[in-house]
Amino acid sequence: MKLYGALASPFVARAILFAKIKGVDLELAAASPSSAEYRAFNPIGKIPALEVDGKCIAESEVICEYIEDSHPTPSGFPADAFGRAQSRMVSRVVDLYMSPAVSKFARQVNPEKRDAAVVTAALADLEKVWTYLESFMGEGPFAVGDVPTLGDCTLAPYMKMTQILVFSNFAEAADPTKTNPRLKTWWDAVNADPNFGPTLEEYGTAFEQMMRFFQKM
């Protein structure tokens, strides 16, 4: 299967990590979302997109669900129904609350163009996110249990991005992987994982290169 996108995207990284914990090989192919050729394949025009027998599956969460359905063993979810719900909730918290909060910082990186009110509001939103995550995570050391699942695949790239975009540029932002015991345990676990550790390093390098764009905004 071919995955269109770039590793600098946390959504692409999510799909890659989920495939890795499933033992599924994905071929990563570059894509130009604005090109007519790509939009003919994926009219939404976003990355990632998964090509299966010439057909398109879009949206990272749906891609992960397809990989789970088409390769049920080993599962990318906890064994019990409540644990699966917890893993999905961690993923949803990232998409619905963490992603919008982190995105607010993208246009505030340049100190000369920074809006203090926007930063203050975004910091408050992030503090809520840490509370949400700790509330919905299960027993560790991973998001839910002793092996990584979907929630880890969604959260880990976003946490890495937040460290690079937010914690490295805004001194007033506290890194929860250093101050929150549950999130610290989780972060240590994902970085020590043989699938997550190297992938997060590659993703971090790719995102740091993209940071040059934000620094000019």
- Is residue 76 a part of any domain in this protein? no
Q: What is the pLDDT of residues 43-79, one digit of tens each?
A: 999 999 999 999 999 999 999 999 999 999 999 999 9
Q: What is the pLDDT of residues 90-125, one digit of tens each?
A: 999 999 999 999 999 999 998 988 999 999 999 999
Range of the domain at 145: 81-215
What is the sign of the dihedral through the CA atoms of 185, 186, 187 and 191? Answer: positive
Q: According to the model, what pLDDT value does residue 139 have? A: 93
User: How far is Cα of residue 214 from the mean position of the Cα atoms in its chain?
Assistant: 18
Of 8, 74, 7, 197, nearest to 16 (Cα)?
Answer: 7
Q: Domain tally for the chain? A: 2
d(CA 137, CA 85): 10
d(CA 31, CA 37): 9
Q: What are the respective helix, strand and coil percentages of the chain, to the nearest 5?
A: 60, 5, 30
The answer to whether 173 and 167 have CB atoms below 8 angstroms apart is: yes
- Is residue 20 a part of any domain in this protein? yes
Average pLDDT, the chain: 95
Question: 180 by DSSP, 3-state: which?
Answer: coil
- Is residue 75 a part of any domain in this protein? no
Query: Do 41 and 97 sit in the same domain of this protein?
Result: no
pTM score of the predicted model: 0.95
Q: According to the model, what pLDDT value does residue 217 have? A: 55
Strand (E) or helix (H) holding 57: strand 55-58
Taking CA 57 as the corner, what is the angle to CA 51 and CA 60, rounded to the nearest 5 degrees? Answer: 110
Region 182-200 average pLDDT = 98
* CATH label of the domain that carries residue 86: 1.20.1050.10
Query: Do 85 and 42 sit in the same domain of this protein?
Result: no
Query: Do 149 and 43 sit in the same domain of this protein?
Result: no
| Amino acid occupying residue 76 | G
End-of-domain residue from the set 50, 70, 90: 70
pLDDT > 90 in the chain, percent? 93
* CATH label of the domain that carries residue 11: 3.40.30.10
Region 161-172 average pLDDT = 96
Length of the chain: 217
Query: Do 34 and 89 sit in the same domain of this protein?
Result: no
Q: How many CB atoms lie within 10 A of CB 70?
A: 11
Query: Do 195 and 111 sit in the same domain of this protein?
Result: yes
- Is residue 94 a part of any domain in this protein? yes
Query: Do 139 and 50 sit in the same domain of this protein?
Result: no
Q: pLDDT grade, residue 16 (50/70/90)?
A: very high
